[in-house]
Chains A and B, each alone.
Chain A
Amino acid sequence: MERYAPRARSDAYGRRINREHSPLVALALPWLSILLGSLLPLFIIATALPLVPPTGYLMLVAWRLLRPGLLPVWAGFPLGAFDDLFSGQPFGSGILLWSLTMIAMEFLDRRIPWRSFLQDWIAASLALLGYVLATFLLSGAQPGIPGLVALGPQALLSVLLFPAAARIASALDRWRLTRWKVTG
């Protein structure tokens, strides 16, 4: 028998017969990627300046803007607490800032429900700049002018890296909904 349309039984997430989405992967992947993002700066020794962008927060914002409603509003609490364990900030700053971010994003969804990527980028940039500044002020050290100036490269890098983070989140999102072969 001749197959006349080989792709007829598949969509962007793979073939459909005998395959199903995995609820585990679909639900855990965003969380895991954010947790990994929190761990990532740990591997880099950048002692001169706080140069590395807050990758965990970057992933959180990327996922939140890409898929509103996938992460619950309260997700900032556990994820922020995990970030606090490794970020070197005083414990609680991540919980506070990440929770506030999630609430702020809800309000953004109310005001501007339909957004282009550019608007997402602007929203993410504002969030990242606010976050970098707030972590500096809440770092437990006396904030001084030289330290503030030293934040510049990190803030710039964070804003410029958002499109990459959004790409990673969307690639993971495609993988999240892949259908896996059902055995038995």
Chain B
Amino acid sequence: MAPQSRSGYSKRAQYTLFTGYILAGIGALVGALLLAVSLWHPPFLAGLRGSAQDMAAPATRSAAVARTESKGLIASIQGYLRAGSQNAALKREVEIARIRLKEAEAVRRENATLKALLAIRDGDVKPVAVARLVGSTATSARRFAYLGAGSEQGVRVGMPVLSPRGVVGRILETGRNSSRVLLLLDSESVLPVRRSNDELVAFAEGRGDSLLRIRLINLGLNPLKVGDLFVTSGAGGYYRPGTAVAILTEKTNDGGVARIVSDPAATDFVAVMPIFEPTAVKVAETPVDQAVEN
């Protein structure tokens, strides 16, 4: 197709074209300025984004329902095809799981007794909201997901988002009926974790390529083994301790590379939990020379 932007001898067409160039140049400049402001101060225009997300939410929500249902259908077809061998494997697994369950029961009872002795009140933590992950920023290099619950359901910035398998991420921005979740896999996400069977503490950082980097706090001999499970340590005050995060798949000299336990793409419903220790979070956010308000 021949370009039609050559304006020929018409003065009017020439002016229109020229104005177009000027406007485009100004547009690019304004874009660069806005970008600089957003990079310097990320919550910039969060309200605008929130309401845009709210408007898209009904459509994304119904798409999420269709997506999970179709996924279930495919899974059941796959199940038929591999029924025999899977059945045998599952039977073995169930037997082992039953034994472990009994052991866990014993531990739980012992825990309850000890807690009763120490008079610690073990309050049941109720989720603030249970909602679907309705979408994600599938194109961007950042890993955000959108959740179908917002400030009207009591969701606040900073609250942890959990799936039945483990930690998914943390609320970053809230709209009225939707909110944006910073997933663990995002390269700006850092989560304090510990190894599940001892007190070895580390940081789990997103790498931006579907893996987490486990960075040990105490450097020295690397005690990690492939297959180690990491759980939240509770440090920082956002997450309750003991929720599954990642499994180590590869050792490096200062820690390792881990795969996330709760892949958000495979989760249907997630729960937004209250912040574990709001006071600790508030203390951490207050400058040293100021008093903490309660």
Report A's interface with B, CB cutoff 8 A.
39, 41-55, 66-69, 72-74, 76-77, 80, 85-100, 102-103, 106, 109, 113-114, 135-136, 138-142, 144, 146-147, 149-151, 154
On whether the beta carbons of A150 and B140 are closer than 8 Å, the reply is no
Q: In chain B between 3 and 20, which residues have their CB closer than 8 angstroms to a CB of chain A?
A: 3-5, 17, 20
User: Which residues of chain A are within 8 angstroms of B63 by Cβ–Cβ distance?
Assistant: 43
User: Which residues of chain B are within 8 angstroms of A99 by Cβ–Cβ distance?
Assistant: 24-25, 27-28, 31
CB distance from A79 to the nearest CB of B (A): 10
Of the candidates B17, B35, B39, B139, the one whose C-beta lies within 8 Å of that of A50 is B139
Query: Which residue of A has the minimal Cβ distance to B16?
Result: A72
Additional A-B contact list (15), CB under 8 Å, known A76-B28, A86-B52, A102-B24: A45-B64, A45-B135, A46-B265, A68-B4, A69-B4, A73-B24, A77-B27, A85-B49, A92-B35, A92-B36, A98-B31, A99-B28, A103-B21, A138-B39, A141-B142
B133-156 Cβ-contact flags toward A at 8 Å (1 or 0): 101111111111110000000000
Q: In chain B between 200 and 219, which residues have their CB closer than 8 angstroms to a CB of chain A?
A: 207-211
CA–CA, A42 to B60, complex, Å?
A: 7
* A to B contact number (C-beta, < 8 Å): 208
Q: Is B112 an interface residue (CB 8 A)?
A: no
Query: Which residue of A has the minimal Cβ distance to B55?
Result: A85
Which 5 pairs of residues, A with B, have the shortest CB-CB distance? Answer: A88-B137, A92-B34, A95-B31, A92-B35, A147-B208
Q: What is the number of residues of chain B that contact chain A, defined by CB distance less than 8 Å?
A: 63
CA–CA, A63 to B20, complex, Å?
A: 17
User: Which residues of chain B are within 8 angstroms of A94 by Cβ–Cβ distance?
Assistant: 31
User: Which residues of chain B are within 8 angstroms of A53 by Cβ–Cβ distance?
Assistant: 139
User: Which residues of chain B are within 8 angstroms of A138 by Cβ–Cβ distance?
Assistant: 35, 39
CB distance from B212 to the nearest CB of A (A): 11
Q: Is B280 an interface residue (CB 8 A)?
A: no
User: Which residues of chain A are within 8 angstroms of B208 by Cβ–Cβ distance?
Assistant: 141, 144, 146-147, 150
